[in-house]
Amino acid sequence: MTADPDLTEQVLINLLLNAMEALGGSENPHIHLSSRMNERGLVVIQISDNGPGIDPEAREKIFIPFFTTKKEGSGIGLSFSRQVMRLHHGVISVQSQPGGGTIFTLRF
């Protein structure tokens, strides 16, 4: 995979910090980071957690600059992550249901 290591690291740090925050107060917190090559030979990285999930209304807006559901959030982390993935001709996607955890997928 050819990618800017610093920008890619920032995306991963952002996603991991978001997962850690989502798990605050959880009884059995779990974060899973995995990587693989898909059937087309592209790198896929996933960060999943067993947190409270993201409600559908917020999920539609999380990549919009300055949108946040956090009291102390700036709303730039996921927007920045999407821009980095676009610079690498990749995509970032999310799967989440309230009460069902969240999975962020990076496809390079």
Neighbours of 100 (CB within 10 A): 13
- For 36, the token pair is 């693989």
pLDDT of residue 95: 97
pLDDT of residue 11: 98
Percent of the chain clearing pLDDT 70 (strictly above): 100
Which parts of the chain fold into alpha helices (H)?
Answer: 5-22, 56-59, 77-87
pLDDT in tens, 30-77: 999 999 999 999 999 999 999 999 999 999 999 999 988 877 878 899
pLDDT confidence of 86, banded at 50, 70, 90?
very high
pLDDT confidence of 1, banded at 50, 70, 90?
confident
Q: What is the C-alpha separation between 103 and 72, in angstroms, rounded?
A: 22
How long a stretch of residues is the chain? 108
pLDDT of residue 101: 94
pLDDT for residue 104 is more than 90: yes
74 Cβ contact list (under 8 Å, min separation 6)? 66, 68
Cα 98-100-101 angle, rounded to 5 deg: 100
CA 3 from centre of chain: 17
Domains observed in the chain: 5-22+31-107 (3.30.565.10)
99 Cβ contact list (under 8 Å, min separation 6)? 52, 53
Average pLDDT over residues 20-34: 93
